[in-house]
Chains A and B, each alone.
Chain A
Amino acid sequence: MRSWSTCCSCSNGTAAMADPADASITPGAPFTAYREPVRAEWLDYNGHLNDASYAIVLSAAHELVLESLGLSAAYRASHQASMFTLETHIRFLAECSAGQILTAATQLVEADTKRLRLHSELYADEVLAATGESLYLHVDTVAGRSAPLPDERQARVDAMLAAHAGLPRPAHLGLGVGTRPAAATGAS
């Protein structure tokens, strides 16, 4: 298990340009607080966003959602509990270059008393560049095991679930890696 918190030295955690509380829950609209230019240190030898940098960006976008739900760093300190990442599935759809503006549209697609499943569309200058889906588990960091969300946080999660219920479901939800329209025949 892994803490979702910001990331390595490549990110300083200041991605949030908007106040996530203002953007938190709008019925019928995804969460869109994340907005940041592509940074030079995220690029590879080719001048394109490195694979791991997509993970940095998606993680930062998802952290803003968790922050709006009251489940970010301050919560960790006050409640001795935190959201841990169990899984992340990224689909790489387009290259991103220096100077492009990255934005994300995030949907809470599923939740129960301990777990959240977020899906984001990541855009570079408004072109869809990737999708990212992550599963988070609420962990009591003292006991070192999963625990139900406190009622007040659960209420916020339920409110976001309701607000996002009418959004179209991404077509690839529920498909694993390699589960896709068949192309050439496998050789093995």
Chain B
Amino acid sequence: MAERVTTPYEGRPAVWDDGAEIPAPLRLHETTAPPAWMDYNDHMSESCFLLAFGDSADAFFRFIGIDEAYRAAGHSLYTSQTHLHHRQEVSLGEPLVMTLQLLDHDRRRLHLYHEMRHGETDALIAMAEQLLVHVDTEAGRSSDMPEDLYEHVAAIRRAHAALPQPAVVGHPIAIRHSK
């Protein structure tokens, strides 16, 4: 058992390439469902969907410029809200591909949408909508992103502006009664 939660990208420095085309959506993380994520029924446990989306978010952080050095200097992105939608079960060893779309942002908040699809069939397995906040970790409060980080985020938003708004975004949980 791990001593703590780790991500595959820990220690990898952030690298931003000003000239590079930004994929829409971003596809920064894929994985294979490992034995540790299976429940007694040999299906992926629900909290492990958030581990997978979290790893994709960590790859995104490094893409825009947030790595260990950035955090050590006193700022980070914290998750404010996460809304998970489950569509299909995942079995041991299935290939999972994550995509990430930047829906909106301002100087200190990012609104993200993730999809998890099957690596071979492309079937939609799960989605996650997240609100992240840039924080001053010393002060323990939200703070504006520095200009270079903000420019990276704004460039991604421009690249993602033409993507359709996913249907589940902004919807609350509710029992929707028929008739």
Contact = CB atoms under 8 A, between A and B. Distances in A.
Interface of A: 1-11, 40-46, 50-53, 55-56, 59, 73, 84-92, 110-112, 115, 117, 133-135, 173-179, 183-188
Given A43-B4, A179-B172, A187-B106, A3 B54 contact: no
Nearest to A110: B175
A143 to B, nearest CB: 15
A5 B40 contact: yes
Q: In terms of DSSP, what is the predominant structure of the interface of chain B?
A: mixed
Given A87-B86, A91-B81, A117-B174, A177 B129 contact: yes
Nearest to B38: A8
A44 B106 CA distance: 27
B30 interface: no
Interface stretch (B12-20, B21-29, B42-50, B93-101): B42-50
A86 B45 contact: no
Contact of A5 (B45, B68, B173): B45
B152 interface: no
Contacts of A112: 175, 177
A99 to B, nearest CB: 14
Contact of B54 (A42, A52, A134): A52
A135 to B, nearest CB: 5
B173 A89 contact: yes
B48 A52 contact: yes
A4 B40 CA distance: 11
Interface string B79-95: 11111111111000000
B102 to A, nearest CB: 8
Interface residues of B, number: 59
Interface of B: 1-6, 10, 36-41, 43-51, 54, 68, 71, 78-89, 104-109, 111, 126, 129-131, 154, 157, 161, 169-175, 177
A4 B1 contact: no
A112 B178 CA distance: 11
Given A6-B39, A59-B47, A90-B81, A41 B5 contact: yes
13 contacts: A2-B126, A6-B40, A7-B39, A8-B51, A41-B5, A53-B47, A55-B47, A90-B82, A91-B80, A175-B172, A177-B111, A178-B131, A183-B106
Contacts of A179: 170, 172
A92 B83 contact: no
B114 to A, nearest CB: 12
Contact of B46 (A44, A85, A185): A85
A9 B170 CA distance: 32
